[in-house]
Amino acid sequence: MDKLSIARNPRARHDYHLLETWEAGLVLTGTEVKSLRARKASLGEAYAHVRNGEVWLEGMNISPYAAGSYNNPPPARSRKLLLHKREIRKLIGGTTQRGLTLVPLELYFKDGVAKVALALARAKRTHDKREELKRRAVERETARAFRGKRS
């Protein structure tokens, strides 16, 4: 089970408390897949939502394939995500709660098929972000101190 990462959303873990994650397939065209294989994608502004019982990914940018000519779709079009019905029902229940949203974490190929890792997340407040940065700084300092004492 090899996994080839294409794009990550580094801000997701910083801006959100991740509650639960899912792996979803993507409905793509041929030129989009070729562009993904060349790692020409961005998840920076992407988000997902449920519409008419289907999950859609918005704002993900896949650059046009150079040799695609007129076959290239718009770079930031809506893309349908493929999930099981029970997973979609769980997502509908989660997103109807106040303050919860669907955030894409990573785009990757798994066994030759394009997948996206989705998370049900709650936005962090500013003080939560500050506390986490302080906690990481303290952990880093203690790790440095222990590293120096080993010799």
- Per-domain residue ranges of the chain: 3-124
Dihedral (CA of 119, 120, 122, 128) sign: negative
Architecture of domain 3-124: Beta Barrel (2.40)
Q: Residue 62 in contact with residue 40, Cβ under 8 Å?
A: yes
- For 99, the token pair is 């303050």
Regions of the chain short of the pLDDT cut 70: 1, 150-151
pLDDT of residue 3: 85
Query: Is pTM, for the whole model, over 0.85?
Result: no
pLDDT of residue 116: 95
pLDDT of residue 62: 86
Closest to 8 (Cα-Cα) out of 43, 38, 39: 43
- For 69, the token pair is 């000519």
